[in-house]
């Protein structure tokens, strides 16, 4: 069968449409790369946290995290301090904050008495809420 003399109006013109499939592929690959590398960029102080069952806490805004390492070194966020200076430094930080809460991370090998002493200094600094940071327990196989 012979075609009619009319040609398709799209046959002679160059195509000006953007093919979005390769664009979507590139964007998805970049998204996966950023999702994998973002957790690796967070650096902190290594602490062997106790493993307990607890609900998670949203710490999306900048919170004060108090870390007690196994050699009884104390860090406010990433700045080292001593037990004697802890109350003064926390009081200075709390003076300009609306939410007066601190999160405490203590290594499981730190003596209980030392952790209680640190908690006492935190309370004396005027902290209203003291949260404990733990790790979820390992699943048994």
For residue 25, being part of any structural domain is answered with: no
Range(s) of the domain holding residue 123:
64-132
For residue 127, being part of any structural domain is answered with: yes
For residue 80, being part of any structural domain is answered with: yes
E strands, 34-111, where?
64-68, 74-76, 79-81, 101-106
The predicted pLDDT at position 36 comes to 83
For residue 80, the domain's CATH number is: 3.30.420.270
pLDDT average per 10 residues of sequence, the chain (141 residues): 59 73 90 82 61 59 82 88 88 81 88 89 85 76 47
Owner of token pair 């050699």 = 71
Looking at the whole model, is its pTM more than 0.85? no
Contacts 24+ apart (CB under 8 A), 41-47: 44/78, 45/69, 45/75, 45/78, 47/105, 47/106, 47/107
* Distance of alpha carbon 54 from alpha carbon 38, whole angstroms: 25
């Amino acid at each position: 069968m012979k075609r009619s003399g009319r040609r398709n109006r799209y046959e002679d013109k160059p195509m000006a449409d953007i093919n979005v499939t390769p664009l979507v592929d590139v964007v998805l690959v970049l998204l996966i790369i950023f999702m994998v590398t973002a957790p690796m960029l967070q650096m902190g102080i290594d602490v062997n946290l106790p493993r307990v069952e607890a609900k998670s806490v949203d710490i999306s805004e900048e919170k004060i995290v108090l870390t007690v390492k196994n050699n009884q070194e104390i860090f406010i966020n990433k700045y080292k301090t001593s037990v004697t200076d802890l109350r003064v430094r926390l009081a200075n930080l709390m003076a300009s904050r609306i939410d007066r809460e601190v999160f405490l991370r203590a290594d499981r090998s730190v003596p209980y008495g030392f952790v209680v002493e640190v908690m006492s200094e935190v309370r004396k600094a005027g902290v209203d809420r003291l949260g404990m940071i733990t790790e979820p327990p390992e699943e048994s196989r």
